Structure formats: structure tokens, C-alpha cells
């Protein structure tokens, strides 16, 4: 049975939609043209303002800033996913003594601005983080130390921990909502054909919940990636701070901003593309495996 919430648009409605789309496109193109003209008129496209980006030293500095950004973002996203799953499990518990403290934790960190968390952790614990990073740096191989950024741990740890707490609290609600969004009839039907509770969760509930949660999780990962720029306020050498050092010395703030913004946009688009590919692959795999497993479990032994 299908439910129609509204009638399909008729010829006049489609014509109005096309006209509105054409007007919006023309307005956007005019805005872009005006911005480009203003930048050209103020000399922002002059060769001397873009010449620094041909310097190998500048390119290496941007690469180091990009590496620092990716290091902080990847650590924050992975830790936030782990924390989010644990918090979602706690919020879904039938034990009130566990559920209420977890709910308070989630609501507190969801409501706290990330910049305040970063400042609190940096001002209160940066020396401790720096000593811990130095201790780990002494015992870790040089390659591992560079990859993990142990030499920058005094600023890296407050940034990653703050992003983990905030994004983990948000992801906890996403995970809980994804599990609750799977209709109960799915699990009941799976049990009716003989699947165990573990098989129901692995083959029926989890695949559907992952497909439901994935867009929101990707969006939160993009938020975490962009929020690494807040490391600027604690002197973490991420991409925005490197850009600041470049335009302070070369006096080319607009070209530097364009380069840094382009890098961020490219990273976010790549992340969304990878997530869409993963969603399509999981959709094909889980649907096939779930059907085959259900049929096998239903056969008499």
C-alpha cells in the first residue's frame, strides 16, 4: 500500500518550478560574477599575490597543516564513533542507574560549545598532555611519533578530546535513533523464522540501522573535520593557522583563504563520496547476506 501525501505537480506547477530554478541560477551566477569582478578589481588575482604558492617551502607548510588537520579529525571521528556507540548502549539500557547519568552526560556535552571545551582542556591540562606526549615520544619509533603527532600533544590532545566529547554525544543520539528507527516487526519476523537474537541484531537490525545512520554520521564527521580549525585558538598547527602564518608574511589574505577553503571543500566532498560508496556497497552486501541467512535458518534441520 502506498500513501500519497500530495498530488504530483501539473504542467503549470512544473513551468513555475523551471522558471524559479532559472531565476535562482541566474542570480547565483550573477553573484559569483560580481565577487570575481570585485576580487579582480582589488588586485587579488595579481601574480605577486599568488606567487608564494609556487614556493616549495609554502607548499610543504600547507602539506604539514593538512596532515595536522587530518590527524586531529581522524582521531576525533574514530574516538567519537566509539564513544557514541557506548553512550547509545548506556542510554538504551533498562537500568535506570546507568541510563540517567549517561543521558546527563550526553545532554551536557551536546549543549556545550566546542570552543569552550577546547579552551578548558587547553588551559587546565596542556602541561599534563605535553608531558604525556613527551614520555610517549621517547619510547615510540620516530615514524610512529610523527604520524601520531606526539611532539604536538600539548595542543593536539585538548583539540581531539574536545571534539570527541562533543561529537560523541551527538553520535550517541544518532546511533540510538538509528536502532529505534528499525521497525519492531523486522525483529519479530526474523525470530519467527528461527533466527537467534544475535542473528537478528547482526543480520536484520544492524544493517538497516547502519544505512539509516550513515548520512547523519557522515555529516557529523564533516562537522568534526571543519571544527579542527578551532585549534587555531590554541596554536595547534592545523591548516587555518598555517594559512594565517602565510598571509601574515606575504600579505595575501584573500588568495590564501581561497586555497585553504578549496582544500577543506575538497576534503569534505571526498569524505561524502567515500561514504556514499560505502553505503551502496553495504546495501548490496547486507541485503544479499541477510536474505540468504534467513532462508538457511528457516530450513528444517
Confidence at 119, pLDDT banded by 50, 70, 90:
very high
Mean pLDDT, rounded, of the chain: 84
Same domain assignment for residues 27 and 150: no
**Does residue 301 surpass a pLDDT of 70?**
no
What pLDDT, on the 0 to 100 scale, is given for residue 2?
A: 46
Q: What is the mean pLDDT of residues 179-203?
A: 76
Between 175 and 8, the higher pLDDT residue: 175
- Asked if the structure places residue 85 within a domain, the reply is yes
- Same domain? 26 vs 95: no
Query: Do 90 and 35 lie in a common domain?
Result: no
Helix (H, G, I), strand (E, B) or coil at 92: coil
Q: Does one domain contain both 215 and 270?
A: yes
> Is the model's pLDDT at 75 over the cut of 90?
yes
Q: What is the pLDDT of residue 296?
A: 58
Specify whether 135 is located in the same domain as 37: no
Residues 31 and 167 in one domain: no
Report yes or no: 172 and 91 within 8 Å, Cβ to Cβ: yes
Find the helix or strand (DSSP H, E) in which 299 lies.
none
The pLDDT score that the predictor gives to residue 162 is 95
**Average pLDDT in the 107-114 region?**
92
Is residue 39 scored above 90 in pLDDT? no
Rounded percentage of the chain residues whose pLDDT exceeds 70: 88
Rounded to 10 deg, the angle between the 253-298 and 206-227 helix axes is: 170
Q: Give residue 117's domain range.
A: 52-298
One domain, residues 38 and 173: no
Is there a domain that residue 47 lies in?
no
pLDDT tens column, 217-274:
888 888 999 999 999 999 899 999 999 999 888 888 899 999 999 999 999 888 888 8
In this structure, is residue 6 part of a structural domain? no
Inside any domain, residue 202: yes
Q: Do residues 229 and 139 share a domain? A: yes
Burial of 216 (0-12, 13-18, 19+ CB in 10 A): middle
Q: Do residues 142 and 248 share a domain?
A: yes
Q: Which long-range contacts (CB under 8 A, 24 or more apart) does 215-222 make?
A: 215/275, 215/279, 216/174, 216/178, 217/81, 217/171, 217/174, 217/275, 218/271, 218/272, 218/275, 220/80, 220/167, 220/170, 220/171, 220/174, 221/73, 221/77, 221/271, 221/275, 222/268, 222/271, 222/272
The reply to whether 94 falls in a domain is yes
Same domain, 65 and 36: no
On the question of pLDDT at 11 being above 90, the answer is no
pLDDT of 1 reads 42
Least confident of 15-19, 192-196, 201-205: 201-205
Crossing angle of the two packed helices 253-298 and 56-91, in degrees rounded to 10? 40
- 202 pLDDT more than 80: no
The answer to whether residues 219 and 245 belong to one domain is: yes
Residues 84 and 184 placed together within one structural domain of the fold? yes
Is residue 3 in some structural domain? Answer: no
- Weakest mean pLDDT among 1-15, 51-65, 145-159, 239-253: 1-15
Count of domains for the chain: 2
Amino acid at each position: 500500500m502506498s500513501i500519497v501525501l500530495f498530488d504530483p505537480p501539473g504542467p503549470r506547477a512544473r513551468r513555475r518550478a523551471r522558471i524559479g530554478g532559472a531565476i535562482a541560477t541566474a542570480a547565483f551566477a550573477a553573484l559569483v560574477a560580481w565577487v570575481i569582478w570585485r576580487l579582480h578589481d582589488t588586485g587579488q588575482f595579481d601574480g605577486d599575490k599568488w606567487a608564494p604558492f609556487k614556493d616549495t617551502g609554502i607548499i610543504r607548510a600547507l602539506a604539514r597543516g593538512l596532515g595536522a588537520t587530518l590527524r586531529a579529525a581522524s582521531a576525533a571521528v574514530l574516538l567519537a564513533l566509539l564513544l557514541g556507540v557506548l553512550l547509545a548502549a548506556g542510554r538504551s539500557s533498562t537500568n535506570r542507574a546507568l541510563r540517567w547519568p549517561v543521558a546527563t552526560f550526553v545532554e551536557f556535552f551536546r549543549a556545550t560549545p566546542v570552543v569552550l571545551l577546547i579552551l578548558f582542556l587547553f588551559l587546565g591540562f596542556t602541561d599534563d598532555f605535553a608531558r604525556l606526549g613527551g614520555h610517549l615520544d621517547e619510547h615510540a619509533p620516530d615514524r610512529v611519533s610523527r604520524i601520531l603527532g606526539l611532539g604536538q600533544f600539548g595542543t593536539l590532545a585538548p583539540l581531539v578530546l574536545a571534539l570527541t566529547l562533543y561529537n560523541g554525544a551527538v553520535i550517541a543520539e544518532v546511533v540510538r535513533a538509528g536502532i529505534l528507527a528499525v521497525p519492531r516487526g523486522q525483529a519479530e519476523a526474523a525470530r519467527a523464522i528461527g533466527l537467534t537474537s544475535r542473528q537478528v541484531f547482526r543480520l536484520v537490525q544492524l544493517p538497516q540501522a547502519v544505512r539509516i545512520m550513515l548520512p547523519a554520521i557522515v555529516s557529523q564527521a564533516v562537522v568534526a573535520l571543519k571544527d579542527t580549525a578551532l585549534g587555531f585558538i590554541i596554536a595547534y598547527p592545523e591548516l587555518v593557522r598555517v594559512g594565517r602564518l602565510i598571509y601574515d608574511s606575504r600579505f595575501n589574505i584573500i588568495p590564501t583563504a581561497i586555497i585553504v577553503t578549496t582544500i577543506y571543500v575538497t576534503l569534505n566532498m571526498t569524505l561524502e563520496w567515500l561514504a556514499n560508496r560505502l553505503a551502496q556497497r553495504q546495501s548490496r552486501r547486507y541485503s544479499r547476506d541477510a536474505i540468504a541467512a534467513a532462508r538457511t535458518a528457516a530450513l528444517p534441520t
